[in-house]
Amino acid sequence: MALYKVICVATLLTLLTPESHSQLECPVSSVCGKPPLNTRIVGGQVAPEGSWPWQVSLHGSAGTHFCGGSLINNEWVLTAVHCVPSANPNGLVVYLGRQSQQGSNPNEVSRTVTQIINHPNYSAVTNNNDISLLKLSSPVTFTNFIMPVCLAASDSTIYAGTGAWVTGWGNIGSGVPLPSPQNLMEVEVPIVGNRQCKCDYGINTITNNMICAGLRTGGKDSCQGDSGGPLTSKQAGRWIQEGIVSFGNGCALPNFPGVYTRVQQYQTWINSQITSNQPGFITFTSTGTDSDLNVTCPGLPPPPTTVPPTTTAKPVVCGQAPMNSRILGGSSVASAGVWPWMASLQKNGSHVCGGTLVAVDAVLSNANCFSSSPNPSEWTVILGRLKQNGSNPFEVTLKVTNITLSNLTGSNVAVLHLATPPTLSDYIQPICLENGRTVSVGTTCWAAGWSSGRGGVEQVLQELQTSVVDCGNVTTSDSICTGALTLEQGDSGGPLMCRQDWLLVPGGGVVSRKLHRSNTSKSSDGLRQSEQVLSLLVSDSGHVLISSLQQQQQHQHHSCHHHNDHQRGRSHSLLILLLLLPPLPPRPLSVSPPLLIGKPVSVNSDLHDVTGTNECKQT
């Protein structure tokens, strides 16, 4: 397939353009870059429906397609200035969820445009700054077929040779229109470095605001009618837009790659225009090496020799859940971003247990989950997940390099070390580890998990609210009690969280509990906790490592209330914020104090909003 943009007329002009920079990152309050129906293969072809849910079709007053674009949040579309040079929105219609220009589109919605914001420094002569924003007449609802794309952040690094995809309804060759029913087309093209592209088009034609893509032999490209559409690549599980179809010399000609507006150069400008529900910008470095540095041609200056700046590691921020405004009220289906430290531990691709992100490269769970298979190669950790069966636009899947199991009787602690740290966002954050503060009676706590018995067909993450209650005669310092919770298989390893800047229950230790149907008017669950569970040391690289697990004295466990002999559900144990299955005999323990990675600097006690600074310092 050949896709295009604004092509240089047959008489090639030497274009003189200034150079500039800018940046981008991924949607904070919207879904981005995770089409559930996308499974790419190489080659120009008809795109499967739903593969590119951010692709839009722009129609003018004549009612026909003339340009593409991309949805970047629920009411803004990114396109090229040359598609809408007059900035007059009258008669302009945006179609979203569209597959065919001539056939049926059951998943389609349309919006008119109320505002067009063209980049003020756009040049029709040089094609520099060919970027425009369209505001839709009303927000759209995200579906499997309508979803925003992520945007490349300003400090992203995109190496030559990186595979990227172009999509659109443009011509399939110079002067050859897309045949009926004019279904959305896709083609994979490699990124061409700017030095090589300068050699192809002329030193002054290609600026730092542009990115090129195409085969050296030609045959794959964008073409007329694709202008304004996205150039995307998949990075760390998300589709990120790196370019906007802009111009080229013909379509798919050898040694003339397509030229695109480099999205990462415009993060500041985009965010200055969209001040609320800003698009999602993601920083990434593509695989490969910068082979473009070796390219030379007459007139091309030598590549710059720069020394990378020295950077200081930022302190780990934990316990912040921007999407979380939990209030009292029992159990319900969780929303995306409410519990950003929640992890799904998967064995060979299936959910087995829950876990909790407690450091940038460490997940806490319970050892029972790994009793049959402690081999790290069989396990993956999914962060940012909401549904076990359904779309999860914010999730990342990480490999496990090591599983450290406690050898203490009754402790059942497991720490999973991640192969790479995730990029923290509103949907992925570590929780704070408690540092000896007392969780007082009345403190609101939550459990969360993906038990098979709840969450519907999609198995949406469930949240169960409770609060700390008086344990009566049980006054030992290693026990706390909460109101009753209903927990099931699949919740094992997941968190019990108490809201004091969202932290693990006191002491960071093992907590045991049994669920009972009480014959008293008030039922509560005894949460037994050790003084401390494990010591965490920060290595030179800033990674958190297990240092020691030392068993101290064991104490006799007391349940919080009398109960009858009818148990509701199974017995469970909680490990700091971990739910342990199957039932185990309650055996309290005490171990050496940890060096905590989560120490909130300031505390916000407002239960209806999670704000304030929760900066957790590494020690």
Which pLDDT score is estimated for 68?
96
pLDDT single digits (tens) 29-59: 345 765 655 433 223 578 888 899 999 999 9
Burial level of 141, CB count in 10 A (0-12/13-18/19+)? Answer: exposed
Which pLDDT score is estimated for 204?
92
Confidence band of 243 (pLDDT split at 50, 70, 90): very high
**Which DSSP helix (H) or strand (E) runs through 267?**
helix 267-273
Which pLDDT score is estimated for 579?
40
Which pLDDT score is estimated for 529?
37
Which pLDDT score is estimated for 392?
80
User: What's the CA gap between 43 and 55, in Å, rounded?
Assistant: 19
Look at 83-87, 211-215, 508-512 and tell me which has the smallest mean pLDDT: 508-512
pLDDT single digits (tens) 513-549: 332 222 333 333 433 332 333 333 222 223 322 222 2
User: What's the CA gap between 345 and 383, in Å, rounded?
Assistant: 9
Which pLDDT score is estimated for 514?
30
Q: Kindly state the tokens that stand for 291.
A: 């082979």
Residue 233 annotated in active site: no
Which pLDDT score is estimated for 499?
61
Which pLDDT score is estimated for 28?
35
Which pLDDT score is estimated for 123?
96
Percent of residues, the chain, with pLDDT higher than 70: 62
Residue 525 annotated in active site: no
Residue 130 annotated in active site: yes
pLDDT single digits (tens) 269-283: 999 999 888 999 999
User: In sequence order, which ranges of 373-451 are alpha helices (DSSP H)?
Assistant: none
Which pLDDT score is estimated for 440?
74
Highest mean pLDDT among 252-261, 265-274, 439-448, 473-482: 265-274
What are the residues whose beta carbons fall under 8 Å from the beta carbon of 286, sequence distance 6 or more?
157, 158, 159, 162, 191, 233, 235
Confidence band of 473 (pLDDT split at 50, 70, 90): low
Which pLDDT score is estimated for 182?
87
Whether 114 shows a pLDDT value over 70: the answer reads yes
Beta strands 150-152; 281-282: pairing state? parallel
User: Which one from 51, 65, 70, 82 is the annotated catalytic residue?
Assistant: 82
Reported in sequence order, the residue ranges of 326-432 that DSSP labels E, i.e. its strands, are: 331-333, 342-347, 350-359, 362-366, 379-383, 396-405, 413-418
| Model pTM score | 0.49
Whether 201 shows a pLDDT value over 90: the answer reads yes
Q: Please answer whether residues 59 and 89 qualify as being in contact, where contact means their C-beta atoms are separated by less than 8 angstroms.
A: no
Look at 202-211, 332-341, 412-421, 482-491 and tell me which has the smallest mean pLDDT: 482-491
Which pLDDT score is estimated for 589?
29
Structural domains for the chain: 2-288 (2.40.10.10), 315-619 (2.40.10.10)
User: What's the CA gap between 129 and 118, in Å, rounded?
Assistant: 9
Whether 60 shows a pLDDT value over 70: the answer reads yes
Whether 17 shows a pLDDT value over 50: the answer reads no
User: What's the CA gap between 487 and 572, in Å, rounded?
Assistant: 8
Which pLDDT score is estimated for 333?
59
Q: Kindly state the tokens that stand for 55.
A: 């692709």
Percent of residues, the chain, with pLDDT higher than 90: 36
Which pLDDT score is estimated for 83?
96
Q: How far is CA 6 from CA 206, 241, 249, 392, in A?
A: 14, 19, 9, 35
Residue 36's nearest CA partner among 428, 282, 387 is 387
Which pLDDT score is estimated for 426?
82
User: Which one from 130, 200, 426, 525 is the annotated catalytic residue?
Assistant: 130
Higher confidence at residue 463 or residue 69? 69
Higher confidence at residue 539 or residue 578? 578
| Averaged pLDDT score across all residues of the chain | 70
Within a 10 A sphere around the Cβ of 421, how many other Cβ atoms? 17
Which pLDDT score is estimated for 135?
98
Residue 227's nearest CA partner among 169, 180, 174 is 169
What are the residues whose beta carbons fall under 8 Å from the beta carbon of 264, sequence distance 6 or more?
22, 23, 24, 151, 152, 153, 154, 155, 156, 158, 242
Q: What is the mean pLDDT of residues 375-403?
A: 89
Whether 406 shows a pLDDT value over 90: the answer reads no
